[in-house]
Amino acid sequence: MTSAAYDDERELLTGEAVALDLRASSIIVRMAGGAIDYLFYAVVTGLLVWLAFSSAASLDIPEALFAAIAITCAVLGLVLLPAVVETVSQGKSLGRLALGDRIVRDDGGAITFRHAFIRALVGFIEIVMTLGGLAVIVAMLNARAKRLGDLIAGTYSQYERVPEPSSTVFGVPVPLLEWATVADVARMPDPLSRRIAQFLRQAPGHTPATRARLAALLASDAAAFVSPMPEGDPELALAGIAALRRNREAIALQLERARLNDLRPTLAALPHGFPDRG
């Protein structure tokens, strides 16, 4: 996968041409959150139907109207209630609070009642009527795991939880020390850097075949940002690339901090001849 593919699927370009790395929730996360949400909405709808029927019986309302009462309760509990919850909580719900995701617009902004109502109305068809089957099929066909309601409303589920960084830090592998003195590693897209770091942490847990396949794939993606590319073991090359890029970014931050410290007296000083009134 090229860097352009990463940008298309996981990055949002703002009006100021700043790329924001926004991670979409996976299908598994969305299914788990949806199951929690609609179980809650089903319970609420059941209570509404029971209260409505009890009240109708005590008021001697004709039984011919019971079907209309049940449909009204279903609309209130399975369409209006989800829309109100998402609007008031800015894209959250009971299931999303548990799983750590939020519904946002395609441009990353907060949803309005219009977005939430469209999602809830379409969700009644694709989730309630088909037991989630239609929603899962549609979500599997696009990169951001959007269901049909998201496609129509212009929204998607953004995953907000960030894993804690690993405390284990490795330097440049010994076989690549000579390569590191002449190598040029450009800044890679954040999704690619994160995948490389995740692979290096989890590599010991993979089978040898899977480990070699993933290393070769990631090394191929990273080759566009490295010159010259280390030859030999792709996993060793990834370790060298990650270590070299981390070291150079750390040096750049130290130099920037030193320049700011040098400028601080000038920035904090008063203009020439200006009295100190503080």
Q: How far is CA 101 from CA 39, 97, 161, in A?
A: 18, 7, 7
Which pLDDT score is estimated for 167?
55
- pLDDT, average across residues 211-228: 91
Measured N-to-C along each axis, helices 208-222 and 190-202 cross at an angle, to the nearest 10 degrees, of 160
Query: Is 52 buried (19+), middle (13-18) or exposed (0-12) by CB count in 10 A?
Result: middle
Which pLDDT score is estimated for 170?
67
Determine which of 2-16, 30-44, 220-234 has the lowest per-residue pLDDT on average: 2-16
Contact 103/33 with Cβ under 8 angstroms?
no
Q: Could you read off the pLDDT of 249-272 as tens digits, one per residue? A: 778 788 888 888 888 777 776 666
Rounded to two decimals, the pTM is 0.58
Per DSSP (E only), the strands in 79-224 are: 101-105, 155-159, 184-185
Distance CA 31, CA 157 (A): 11
On the question of pLDDT at 108 being above 60, the answer is yes
Distance CA 100, CA 242 (A): 28
Which pLDDT score is estimated for 270?
63
Hey, is 157 helix, strand or coil? strand
The pLDDT confidence band at residue 138, using thresholds 50, 70 and 90, is very high
The pLDDT confidence band at residue 48, using thresholds 50, 70 and 90, is very high
The pLDDT confidence band at residue 46, using thresholds 50, 70 and 90, is very high
No. of helices (H) and no. of strands (E), the chain: 12, 6
Closest alpha carbon to 189 in 151, 233, 225: 225
Within 8 A by CB and 6+ apart from 95, the residues are 32, 33, 34, 35, 36, 37, 40
| Segments making up each domain of the chain, as ranges | 16-159, 174-268
Which pLDDT score is estimated for 17?
41
On the question of pLDDT at 76 being above 80, the answer is yes
Which pLDDT score is estimated for 13?
46
DSSP letters for 246-269: HHHHHHHHHHHHHHHHHHHHHHHS
On the question of pLDDT at 111 being above 90, the answer is yes
Distance CA 218, CA 87 (A): 40
**Choice between 243 and 118, residue whose per-residue pLDDT is larger:** 118
Q: Express as a percent the part of the chain with pLDDT over 90.
A: 40
Strand partners, 185: 226
Distance CA 37, CA 89 (A): 14
